[in-house]
Amino acid sequence: MARPRVVLSVATSVDGCIDDTSPQRLILSGPQDLDRVDGERAAADAILVGASTIRRDDPRLLVRSAERIAERVAGGRAPQPLKATISSGGRLDPSARFFTTGEQPKLVYLPAGVEAPHGVRAAATVVPAGDPLDPALVLADLHERGVRTLLVEGGTAMHTLFLTADLVDELQLAVAPIFVGNAGAPRFVGAGVFPHGPEHRMRLAEVRRVDDVVLARYLLGDAR
């Protein structure tokens, strides 16, 4: 099945957490790293986050830089990447910024046979993607819609789903110089069988200092 190149971008604390347990979103990286991620968004044809991240963080998932938007348009692309999410039941608020910001299509992938609530069906295109949901079918559908680069931006369940399925080509791990130290805080990934263990190491492509954050870029599969 043809699929897009998949870039997974995440910011963690040094103890591997991607958030804390407070109601506010934990800011892990600084302005320079956020701008770097904005560049990754601008380079992508679609951005995907899990349903819990939409419910918890209410992200817009838009390219912010006017210059980057103009460059996309000048290159014959849509101003903004598509937005996509994965859910088991579609229990999402249609007034979430995922749905209400930007003119681009919004895609909600659900297990086959699951009907999304009416409000979600009105706000997005709902796509069945196997039973149980198969991330490879999500990627195949995105490819059919013209997506050649997908940026996966969290959270834990999405990282685990795509990494354990060996569907990530590049991992961009931004490590912030802080500890979260809370046993209940969401981690970068959950438990699972990951293709890249001690016998199959990822390839370190780059290490970069971005403000006080260390960005490590790893290549996971054959170059795409």
Ligand X SMILES: NC(=O)c1ccc[n+]([C@@H]2O[C@H](COP(=O)([O-])OP(=O)(O)OC[C@H]3O[C@@H](n4cnc5c(N)ncnc54)[C@H](OP(=O)(O)O)[C@@H]3O)[C@@H](O)[C@H]2O)c1
Q: Which residues lie near ligand X (CB under 6 A)? A: 10-11, 18-19, 25, 28, 49-53, 56-57, 86-89, 91, 111, 133, 153-158, 161, 186
Q: 137 near 129, Cβ under 8 Å?
A: yes
Query: Which residues have CB under 8 Å from 188's CB, separation 6+?
Result: 10, 12, 16, 17, 18, 156, 159, 173
Nearer to ligand X, 56 or 77 (CB): 56
Question: Least distance (Å) from ligand X to the CB of residue 44?
Answer: 15
Question: Least distance (Å) from ligand X to the CB of residue 121?
Answer: 15
Query: Which residues have CB under 8 Å from 152's CB, separation 6+?
Result: 6, 7, 8, 9, 47, 48, 49, 158, 159, 162, 168
d(CA 92, CA 59): 13
Question: Least distance (Å) from ligand X to the CB of residue 185?
Answer: 8
Nearer to ligand X, 7 or 158 (CB): 158
Burial class (CB in 10 A: 0-12, 13-18, 19+), 136: middle
Nearer to ligand X, 146 or 177 (CB): 177
Question: Least distance (Å) from ligand X to the CB of residue 41?
Answer: 13
